[in-house]
Amino acid sequence: MEHIAIIGSGFCGTALAIQLLRSAKGPLRLSLINRSGRLARGLAYGTRSVSHILNVPAERMSLFPDQPSDFLQFARKQMPEAKPGDFLPRRFYGDYLQDRLGHAIAEAAPGVRFSSLCQQVLELTEHGDRLRLLLDDGQPLDSQKVIIATGNFAPATPGPLKLLEADPRYLRDPWAPGALESIPTHANVLLLGTGLTMYDMALALEDQGHRGPLLALSRRALLPQAHRDNASHPVLPDLPQAFLRHMGLNERLRGLRRLIRQAAEDGHDWRDVIAALRPVTPQLWQSLNDTERGRFLRHLQTYWDVHRHRAAPPVAQRIEDLRNSGQLRVQAGRVLAAKATENSIDLEIRPRGARHSQRQVVDYLINCTGPCTDLRTVNEPLLCGLLDRGVIRQDRQGLGLDTDEEFRLLDASGKANPDLYLLSPMLRASHWEATAVPELRGHAARLAELLLA
Ligand SMILES: Cc1cc2nc3c(=O)[nH]c(=O)nc-3n(C[C@H](O)[C@H](O)[C@H](O)COP(=O)(O)OP(=O)(O)OC[C@H]3O[C@@H](n4cnc5c(N)ncnc54)[C@H](O)[C@@H]3O)c2cc1C
């Protein structure tokens, strides 16, 4: 009987398991392995905070590309008034994933054997015609096909903060369970980064009754744009064919601005143009050469991120309220140096455009710089081991891992491993857009088809 093992049961591993369970007809053994006991949650949907709200409307969060209203139907069983454009709590989405996984297991064809394992996979090696996983209880698990769905890595510590690494007042991983609980109500907190992670942390602090000042700092101090209220059924403008042909980065940027102006004249919102780009983003990304990709990452990525990864309206409103009240201040600049003293964290900050740096003293510092994408700097035995042995390779931009068009991981020489696959935001190396559910669910459905073919 063929055995497929999926490492990681966040959104990607769960979505793939569900697709396989629903489609497999014949004998199949499927193992879903997650290092924490909670399946179908992962980093994004494991939060307990009700302030952590999906940043995609309910109507676009179905697990299944071919059943777009599945999540909405699930939501309406508990919230009959839920509307397609509503932004619902992320933990409720975790309930949905768990529910759909439970149904898929119960309804799988008779020859399909499913098991879940609460284990960390430490190593993967070749063993005859199988892949052998070493689990943290010391047991091996052999499988014909393995899918790496291990998700995002915790943020890396920026160079100037290295001296803080051992200090408990520096929170490197804001997603670690209970990370914020140690912060006293009146503490003066620096949030390093001004993206959606900063939004989550500011709101979580507010929920725990925080009264102290919050300073959010990033190089450009660009904040995520807000979605429209009830952003249901946007009318996507057609992208002209000319926009899709190969062109340089500058020309493309000018073209995009023209499209947005044109869309505004035709009564569309700029968000509709960004949405219309979504299905063709991988094509656009793949048309860029390495130099252009590098230029995009240096000069345009922050602008792309704040327009593309937007905040739900209630979240954006709460952040605005925090700013209006003066509790949250947003500043453009960068940290040049940081050291921990007995009573505080002392920072040297250079405000954007200023010639001189200034001193800033805070009680706590939360790293909100977002997931680390550079495998060389993370402490993940499985992936680092595979990388060291040349079984997998990073892409040149350090965004993720190289794969072929069928999700097979490439080794150091560029050869695809026929049995080792990737399903994770690390697909951004080849797709760029591989972050949110609407893209990842499509990848999960396609990979399930390939695995069962
Ligand atoms: C905070 C946050 C909020 C988001 N909000 C939204 C949103 O509102 N809408 C949207 O569309 N997208 C959202 N996203 C994006 C997207 O949905 C997630 O990135 C997606 O959940 C990624 O899923 P994943 O399975 O790749 O990773 P994860 O969900 O992180 O799951 C990976 C799992 O693998 C396990 N694991 C890792 N290594 C091992 C190992 N060696 N052995 C065993 N298990 C291992 C981990 O414990 C984890 O459970 C959000 C992302 C984040 C980070």
| Pocket lining: 18 vs ligand 1, CB cutoff 6 Å | no
Give the distance (Å) from ligand 1 centre to CA of residue 262: 37
Q: pLDDT tens per residue, the chain (453 residues)?
A: 899 999 999 999 999 999 999 999 989 999 999 998 889 999 899 988 888 999 999 999 999 999 999 999 999 999 999 999 999 999 999 999 999 999 999 999 999 999 999 999 999 999 999 999 999 999 999 999 999 999 999 899 999 999 999 999 999 999 998 899 999 999 999 999 999 999 999 999 999 999 999 999 999 999 999 998 765 555 666 777 777 777 788 888 898 998 899 888 888 889 988 888 888 899 889 988 999 999 999 999 999 999 999 999 999 999 999 999 999 999 999 999 999 999 999 999 999 999 999 999 999 999 999 999 888 888 899 999 999 999 999 999 999 999 999 999 999 999 999 999 999 999 999 999 899 999 999 999 999 999 999
Architecture category of domain 159-225+311-367 in CATH: 3-Layer(bba) Sandwich (3.50)
Rounded CA-CA distance 208/51 in Å is 11
pLDDT more than 70, % of the chain: 98
Rounded CA-CA distance 401/263 in Å is 36
- From the candidate CATH numbers 3.40.50.620, 3.40.50.150, 3.40.50.720, 3.50.50.60, the one assigned to the domain spanning 2-153+373-452: 3.50.50.60
| Pocket lining: 141 vs ligand 1, CB cutoff 6 Å | no
The pLDDT, as a whole number, for residue 230 is 62
Give the distance (Å) from ligand 1 centre to CA of residue 351: 33
| Pocket lining: 35 vs ligand 1, CB cutoff 6 Å | yes
Bridge-based pairing of strands 416-422 and 145-148 is parallel
Q: Where are the domains of the chain?
A: 2-153+373-452, 159-225+311-367, 241-308
> Are the beta carbons of 17 and 108 closer than 8 angstroms?
no
Closest C-alpha among 224, 221, 225, 217 to residue 367:
217
Helix (H) or strand (E) run with residue 297 in it: none
29-75: pLDDT as tens digits = 999 999 988 899 998 999 888 889 999 999 999 999 999 999 999 99
Strand order in the sheet with 121-127: 121-127, 130-135, 140-143
Residue with tokens 């063993």: 127
Give the distance (Å) from ligand 1 centre to CA of residue 186: 32
Closest residue (by CA) to atom 4 of ligand 1?
A: 44
Closest residue (by CA) to atom 34 of ligand 1?
A: 8
Instruction: Ligand 1 pocket test: pick from 35, 41, 124, 384 the residue with the most ligand atoms within 8 Å of its Cβ.
Output: 35
Name the average pLDDT for the chain.
93
| Pocket lining: 14 vs ligand 1, CB cutoff 6 Å | no
* Intrachain domains 2-153+373-452 and 159-225+311-367 with the same fold: yes
Give the distance (Å) from ligand 1 centre to CA of residue 135: 20
| Pocket lining: 362 vs ligand 1, CB cutoff 6 Å | no
Closest residue (by CA) to atom 39 of ligand 1?
A: 150
The pLDDT, as a whole number, for residue 376 is 80
